[in-house]
Structure 1
Amino acid sequence: MATLRSMPVLQVHDVPRSVAFYEKLGFAAHGSWGDPPLFAIIQRGDVTLALDKGRQDGPIPLNQWWAAYIYVDDAKVLRDEFAALDLPTLTEMHFPDDYGCIDFDVVDPDGHRIAFGQALHPVPGAGLSDDRGRG
Structure 2
Amino acid sequence: TRFQPPGKESACGAHHHVSLWRDGKPAFAAGPNRLTPVAEKFLAGVLNRMQETHIFFRPTVNSYRRFDRGAWSPEDVAWGFENRTAPIRAITTPNDAACRFEHRAPGADVNPYLSIAAILAAGCEGIEKNLPLEAPVTSNLANL
Q: Report the TM-score when normalising by structure 1.
A: 0.27
Find the structure with the greater CA-based Rg: 1
Higher relative contact order (CA 8 A, sep 6+): 2
In terms of fraction of residues, the more helix-rich structure is 2
In terms of fraction of residues, the more strand-rich structure is 1
